Amino acid sequence: MELFWFIPLHGDGRYLGTSKGARAVDYDYIRQIAQAVDRLGYHGVLLPTGKACEDAWVAASSLIGMTRRLKFLVAIRPGLMSPSTSARMASTFDRLSGGRLLVNVVTGGDPHELGGDGIFLSHGERYEQTDEFMTVWRRMMQGEEVDFAGKYVRVEAGEVLFPALQKPYPPIYFGGSSPAAMQIAADHVDCYLTWGEPPAEVAKKIAEVRKLAEARGTKVKFGIRLHVIVRETNEEAWAAADQLISHVDEQTIAEAQRILARYDSVGQKRMGELHNGDKASLVISPNLWAGIGLVRGGAGTALVGDADTVAERMKEYAELGIETFILSGYPHLEEAYRSAELLFPRLPLKAQASEEHGAITASGELVAYNKRPKTGSAT
């Protein structure tokens, strides 16, 4: 497995749906999270994109020199960027970071937000545009001088003069639950991402993308985006889940669901159907809880339980073919430490590039300033 964490460019806190326990997401805070995640041994971080977030490219660039091994999963946006500009940005970031860029292709799912950015295309048209964009982007990243005249993208003699370090280009990640999105995955990407649906539904997605990829003669890896609420006991974990949404009232839920209903994203619709705005029926699969999706768009589910249980649920997804787990928890700084301490020893993690900067070994405070503490389990 590869474990990633999340940089909360749109805000953070101890509770959802309230300013109580909230904290400012400024540079010092995101740097704290990135450095902690880097030192703990996570493989990378996802930086979100959209008008509710600080800009992901600026934020990620500012963290290159603050980290050593951490990879950055940063979004390119067909329609908001030209493929040429995006390719140059990606190549520069990859070189300056020493080959630590991962590319997240985000087509977008909120017509209202997209309109504010000057995009007035239907769901299907946006995926046609993404297909053309990725065709040009990949060719340019491989060193070609590209002439291309499509329905949405036109490029004449487009090229990248300073190539990326990673060959043929930084790995491409992409998520989407519609048939059009799955075809894009089969045609263009290295890793297909899904939000945290029940294992049976995830298995169906994986099977469909694999089928499309085989027909195309390509091979795709798979990843999942989940929150985690992991504690030393199941009782503590479920109490923490309840506490996280303890300030979320029915009015807040209704307003959030009204906004999310305008999305034409198939994945967002599937997230909403997991709970249907009902605070009373949030456990949708063993240890899979949909409470976060009551007020948050995108990833709305969390694995909840003690360390052994959460690790076993993650292994169940791994058996389906999931290799990359992009995790998060509220607040993100503290939960990055907690998740590493409780989950890392229980999971078959892919080795880091350098063991000297991998996961921290247990130490703790010396007993009576003189004796090392006893070696024990993570719990």
Residue with tokens 């450095």: 35
Total domains in the chain come to 1
Query: What average pLDDT score do residues 281-287 get?
Result: 96
Res 372: pLDDT? 73
Assess if residue 50 is contained within a domain.
yes
Over residues 41-61, the pLDDT tens digits come to 999 999 999 999 999 999 999
Residue 274 DSSP label: T
> Is pLDDT at 358 greater than 50 in this prediction?
no
Query: What average pLDDT score do residues 130-136 get?
Result: 98
Res 374: pLDDT? 79
Assess if residue 59 is contained within a domain.
yes
The model's confidence at residue 362, banded by pLDDT at 50, 70 and 90, is low
Q: What percent of the chain has pLDDT over 70?
A: 95
Query: What average pLDDT score do residues 18-35 get?
Result: 95
Res 205: pLDDT? 98
Query: What average pLDDT score do residues 244-248 get?
Result: 96
Res 367: pLDDT? 76
Over residues 76-88, the pLDDT tens digits come to 999 999 999 999 9
> Is pLDDT at 351 greater than 90 in this prediction?
no
Over residues 159-212, the pLDDT tens digits come to 999 999 999 999 999 999 999 999 999 999 999 999 999 999 999 999 999 999
Q: Give the side-chain half-sphere CA count within 13 A for 189.
A: 28
Strand partners, 194: 224
Buried b (16+ CB within 10 A) or exposed e, 183-219: bbbbbbbbbbbbbbbebebbbebbebbbebbeeeeee
Res 377: pLDDT? 54
Assess if residue 164 is contained within a domain.
yes
The values of phi and psi at residue 306, to 5°, are -75, 170
**What's this model's pTM, rounded to 2 decimal places?**
0.94
Res 357: pLDDT? 40
Assess if residue 365 is contained within a domain.
no
Assess if residue 339 is contained within a domain.
yes
Assess if residue 203 is contained within a domain.
yes
Res 376: pLDDT? 67
Q: For the chain, give the mean pLDDT.
A: 94
> Is pLDDT at 26 greater than 50 in this prediction?
yes
Domain range for residue 142?
2-357
Res 232: pLDDT? 97
Residues whose CB falls within 8 Å of the CB of residue 263, separated by 6 or more in sequence, listed in order: 109, 110, 111, 269, 297
Buried b (16+ CB within 10 A) or exposed e, 139-177: bbbeeeebebeeeebebeebebeebbebeebbbbbbbbb
Assess if residue 349 is contained within a domain.
yes
CATH assignment at residue 188: 3.20.20.30
The values of phi and psi at residue 38, to 5°, are -60, -45
Assess if residue 366 is contained within a domain.
no
Res 106: pLDDT? 97
Query: With 0-12 CB in 10 A as exposed, 13-18 as middle and 19+ as buried, what is 339?
Result: buried
Res 355: pLDDT? 44
Q: Give the side-chain half-sphere CA count within 13 A for 117.
A: 19
Q: What percent of the chain has pLDDT over 90?
A: 91
Query: What average pLDDT score do residues 290-307 get?
Result: 96
